[in-house]
Amino acid sequence: MNALPATDLPATTARPRWRPFIALGLVIVVADQLLKQWISHNFTVGAPVSLLGGDLIRINVTHNQGALFGLFQGSAVLFGLASIGVIGIIVWYEARAGSALLVTIALGLLIGGALGNLVDRLRLGFVVDFVDAGLGGWRFYTFNVADAAISCSIVLLILLAVLPARITRTA
Answer whether residue 117 is part of any domain. yes
Contact present, 63 and 128 (Cβ < 8 Å): yes
Task: Dump pLDDT digits (tens) for 46-84.
Answer: 899 998 778 889 999 999 876 655 555 556 667 777 888
Measured CA to CA, the distance from residue 17 to residue 92 in angstroms comes to 13
Measured CA to CA, the distance from residue 24 to residue 26 in angstroms comes to 5
In eight-state DSSP terms, residue 169 is -
pLDDT of 122 over the 70 cut: yes
Answer whether residue 65 is part of any domain. yes
Question: Could you say which of 32, 120, 132, 147 is catalytic?
Answer: 147
Measured CA to CA, the distance from residue 148 to residue 153 in angstroms comes to 8
Answer whether residue 9 is part of any domain. no
Given the DSSP bridges, would you call strands 49-50 and 138-139 parallel, antiparallel or unpaired? unpaired
Question: Could you confirm whether 132 is annotated as catalytic?
Answer: no
Answer whether residue 93 is part of any domain. yes
Look up the pTM and report it: 0.80
Question: Could you confirm whether 32 is annotated as catalytic?
Answer: no
Task: Dump pLDDT digits (tens) for 101-118.
Answer: 899 999 999 999 999 999
**Domain range spanning residue 90?**
16-138+147-160
Q: Identify which of 17, 10, 4, 3 has the alpha carbon closest to the alpha carbon of residue 99.
A: 17
Answer whether residue 169 is part of any domain. no
Contact present, 139 and 132 (Cβ < 8 Å): yes
Measured CA to CA, the distance from residue 48 to residue 65 in angstroms comes to 19
- Domains identified in the chain, total number: 1
Answer whether residue 11 is part of any domain. no
Answer whether residue 167 is part of any domain. no
